Structure 1
């Protein structure tokens, strides 16, 4: 995959065929995902730099592109004509050209260190239990069961985490000189010192902030979340839209309470299925989306909590093998 095409993709200047080519390449291999995530991180970093100086902006951009392309030269050989053509084909927003000179240095160091250096990652799996861990930088994390992350082995210098699946609460140690970055597929979460929860199940990601400020990025879309705010990212709606967090159900694996404050019943049953390894099924959409207000103790038995839900919602239980079917009493 040519870096020129990746940059066009990040700039949202790729046509539909090129978009499909990049997306298929990313999905084809875990190493491709890692490469793209780090590549994207360079571009996102440019947005935090203050444009200054009177350097020739267009020439600075070309030098940046040449440096990025140089990392691919060991595998591919591109003619000067083709390379210059690729550069000229980008209708770059000139605001970003003002920081291109700084990006030349960032790109050279970043790619050399991350893609050709010895950076390694350590896997951390929660298994069948909720676990708490202290990372090498002093940050504390709580992982819901069946959650999987990996973190940079040299974590004090490179505070980088890949969240592969599950629910993880982060209480990040403050270190302004080393931002704490979490990669989830094509989503990036960046913080300095704060606390927040990330849920990543299949292709859906949710970030809920408890304290501080969290920056969430997807492609060229970047938003900041503060205490009590959240963002949900789905393949069907990839745009980052900030919302006020209205319930505490996401926190059940830490608080040990299922707090259902006027939320759809289906959301509560999904949390119970995760916690107790059960298969509650609601076939009636109207029942699944009906709001419920209740508080359940995680320490109570599944049957006890299920009975409380049925009393509250006037439901009956029908069992079909491992499935537990809920429906309205008629």
Structure 2
């Protein structure tokens, strides 16, 4: 598809055959519709400025032809008939180049656009344009700004993501999670956004967390848990490696409450483990489970280690004390 034919289409100067060609091209792919939408905006702006333009028309037309010749076309170039409109082809081409520059500037400096990265049923690794590497747990979604050379901005919508950020002091790496903002220049850390809560755990370097004007710095081995109604940021030591199970393929408990182990297994296996009473859930366990051992294998280890019994009701699993 040529830009000249699109101009004719906008001016209603296409033949019946050419009109059918353009319509078929528009219906073939949504990206074609997006291109045409941008092209039409440039065209309309160009018509308004055409009368006032002092651009060298012959030179502009040569530049326009050079640009369009580089585009890959899916059909032979259309035969161009003289326009019935009062605007000349050279004037139109000159204005298109002028407005095209304005449009390009808008794309660079206007509202940011983001690219989505979604992990559905399996863990996904994604490398960003600056060399930073993300590992997304299942059922996670992030978006990063298209113009990564100017900004390093990421939005975490949901799920569990490990960030290994490339060092760059001149361009801080910023993650937005609802009302929470996380800023680093080069470090590794994990962020979980689940059930309205946000948890940040730092493995290396320094991470700055902000909420409603409050700021705290987290260092290696520190974390912050931000609830839905949180008004204060409180950091604490991270005491286990359970958060890392989707990367290590291990559930590593280190004097960890059994309730937390059950919660993480529910995330990993999509199970519904519950504990009969809070005192049992608060009891701790120190052991390593293999994710590949499966839910049944790991429940057996818990049962033997903790001296509990397991009761099943369809998909629900209840852990309770032996009487």
Q: Same fold (TM over 0.5)?
A: yes
Structure 2 residue aligned with 1:177: 170
Q: Deviations over 1:57-109 (max 9, x none)?
A: xxxxxxxxxxxxxxxxxxxxxxxxxxxxxxxxxxxxxxxxxxxxxxxxxxxxx
Q: Does 1:188 align with 2:181?
A: yes
- Distance, in Å, in 1 between the alignment partners of 2:276 and 2:114 is 42
Of the candidates 240, 245, 250, which is equivalent to residue 257 of structure 1? 250
Shift of residue 238 of structure 1?
Answer: 3.0
Structure 2 residue aligned with 1:32: none
- Distance, in Å, in 2 between the alignment partners of 1:262 and 1:238 is 29
Structure 1 residue aligned with 2:131: 138
Structure 1 residue aligned with 2:196: 203
Structure 1 residue aligned with 2:86: none
RMSD: 1.9
Shift of residue 180 of structure 1?
Answer: 0.5
Report which structure shows greater RCO (CA 8 Å, sep ≥6).
1
- Determine if contact 1:113/1:119 at 8 Å carries over to the other structure: no
Q: Does 1:293 align with 2:286?
A: yes
Shift of residue 161 of structure 1?
Answer: 0.7
SS in 1 for 2:293: coil
Shift of residue 259 of structure 1?
Answer: 0.7
Structure 2 residue aligned with 1:277: 270
TM-score normalized by structure 1? 0.64
Report matched runs for 1:87-166 at 5 Å.
117-166=110-159
TM-score normalized by structure 2? 0.65
Structure 1 residue aligned with 2:208: 215
- Distance, in Å, in 2 between the alignment partners of 1:310 and 1:238 is 39
Q: Deviations over 1:288-324 (max 9, x none)?
A: 1211112101111211111000111111111111111
Structure 2 residue aligned with 1:245: 238
Shift of residue 118 of structure 1?
Answer: 4.1
Unaligned runs of 5+ in 1: 1-111
Unaligned runs of 5+ in 2: 1-104
Structure 1 residue aligned with 2:217: 224
How many residue pairs match? The answer is 219
The structure whose Rg is larger is 2
Shift of residue 276 of structure 1?
Answer: 1.2
SS in 2 for 1:266: helix
Shift of residue 236 of structure 1?
Answer: 4.1
Shift of residue 176 of structure 1?
Answer: 1.3
